[in-house]
Amino acid sequence: MTIHIPVLMDEVLDGLNLSPDSVIVDGTLGGAGHATAILERLGPKGRLVAFDRDPLPVELAIEKIDDPRATFIHSNYADVPEYLNQLEIESVDGVLLDLGLSSDQLADRDRGFSFQSDGDLDLRFDPLQGDAAWRIINRLNEKHLADIIYQYGEERLSRRIARKICLVRKDTTIRSASALAKIVRSCVPRSKNHSIDPATRTFQALRIAVNEELKWVQVAMNRMPDVLSSDGRLAVISFHSLEDRIVKQSIVKDDRLENLTKKPITASEGELMENPRARSAKLRVARRI
């Protein structure tokens, strides 16, 4: 069962310009909110191919969504062209990438996405790939840690945080999300007029580093136009400036694409009241020329 609320639903469906016979790729399945809504718009000849790096959403979707028009694949969205080739799909009418962290992942206390989690600070989307975040923060030198926190978290106090992490780990292994959050909060003063937890930027930075998120966004933006049919749509939802910058620049510079959103589409006041996590979501849409 999912608790995730998909963001910008109406805007995504409009941006994809769906027809009953559309073939659509959802590169980031998550709680299957967008995927389910897309299937509802498709006719008998329509098709959805959905991907996720996290195996759990794929397992849930296979179990819960019994629809012959849908195919669910556990893989990185950057691998879409290879899988479409295996499925003998020459091109698709739309690609959706929702780059946000799902509420289901935040609620999983065994993976460390939540600051309150006493489980391992893992932060991997795919638990079978790469090193868990706790191993990284206990291994990297102070400068490397500071660089990651600054570059990927845009945290101005990155050096102070890295210094404190290295000091604490001399006496004990930093293993849980709650332990790291406590360290960061001791270094970053909470703004009186800001509700965001002081640990947010550091956790974002580590998650991006562990999953190589910016690298794969860039790879996907380079590859997705080639799988789109003429007039096909690419819709991308980003949640922080580093991702959005890559998406924006990729669309503007790519002569295969026409930029349909000069400014990113953001959540309405009504949506923000129902789902505050949509506050940082930005949707950009492009058309395959």
Question: Which amino acid makes up residue 13?
Answer: L
Give the C-alpha separation, 205 to 150, whole Å: 8
Could you tell me which CATH class the domain 109-211 is placed in? mainly alpha
CATH superfamily of 9-104+213-288: Vaccinia Virus protein VP39 (3.40.50.150)
**Axis-axis angle for helices 213-227, 241-253 (nearest 10):** 30
The pLDDT confidence band at residue 277, using thresholds 50, 70 and 90, is confident
The pLDDT confidence band at residue 1, using thresholds 50, 70 and 90, is low
Q: What is the pLDDT of residue 2?
A: 58
Q: What's the mean pLDDT when you consider all of the chain?
A: 93
Q: What is the pLDDT of residue 194?
A: 65
Residue 183 has pLDDT above 60, yes or no: yes
The pLDDT confidence band at residue 134, using thresholds 50, 70 and 90, is very high
Residue 119 has pLDDT above 90, yes or no: no
For the chain, which residues make up each domain, given as ranges? 9-104+213-288, 109-211
Query: pLDDT above 90 covers what percent of the chain?
Result: 85
Q: What is the pLDDT of residue 107?
A: 64
Query: Which residues fall within 8 angstroms of residue 126, CB to CB, at 6 or more apart?
Result: 53, 54, 55, 74, 76, 211
- Per residue in 150-164, pLDDT (tens digit) is 999 999 999 999 999
- Per residue in 6-62, pLDDT (tens digit) is 999 999 999 999 999 999 999 999 999 999 999 999 999 999 999 999 999 999 999
